[in-house]
Structure 1
Amino acid sequence: MQYHQPRQHYPGDAPPADPASMAQPHVEVRPAWQVVAVRIMGEWRLALLTEWRRPRGGPWVAHVRWALDRDEEFAWAWIVAEPATLRPLRIGDVTLPGATRPG
């Protein structure tokens, strides 16, 4: 399995998944396509959560992507899923500059 984590880890960031536990068989794997807010590289970023995994004897981990360009360095990571650093979002939670709501 390819494994990645950001070059810089700041206080309050989502903890990276342990590479050794990620190499072990997983008890459960769930695909997911959900917009989330993730605390990574010192700030909150909008990201796409693409998969949940639970390594044997370990916590749930989440695969998150926060850049669209597949070749961009540090565009994704496996992180330990903790409510303080990984928050699900709904469409109504996201405000885009210049966007208007229907109705």
Structure 2
Amino acid sequence: MRNKRLKLLNKLEDYRHRKLIDEIERIEEERREQEKEIRKQKHKEAQRQKYLAEQKAKLEAHQYDKAKKMLNEEKEYQRKMKQDKLMEIRKKEYFDDQKAKLKLYNEKKK
């Protein structure tokens, strides 16, 4: 009788022990899953930050290129304006010279 009781107690103890081990394993598995999920989230966030940084760099490069293009256009416009002014001055000088020559020619003719 006593032997049967001991066997039953041992079985009960083994059962409790296995149950505890199963519980510990379940908790460890949950912890591993949570860590895996956290790593996934960190990776996702890192990818998101990388994407945002790339987009920001592209935008800044685009804005820089646009500003540079506008500056070049402004310089080109200023250069053309100077060139036009010089042409006007040269035309005026040329016509003034022609007038003076014509005037001299007319005076000599008289």
Q: Larger radius of gyration, structure 1 or 2?
A: 2
Higher helix share: 2
**Structure with greater proportional strand content:** 1
TM-score over 0.5 for the alignment?
A: no
Normalised by the length of structure 2, the TM-score is: 0.14
Provide TM-score, normalisation by structure 1.
0.14
Higher RCO by CA contacts (8 Å cutoff, separation 6 or greater): 1
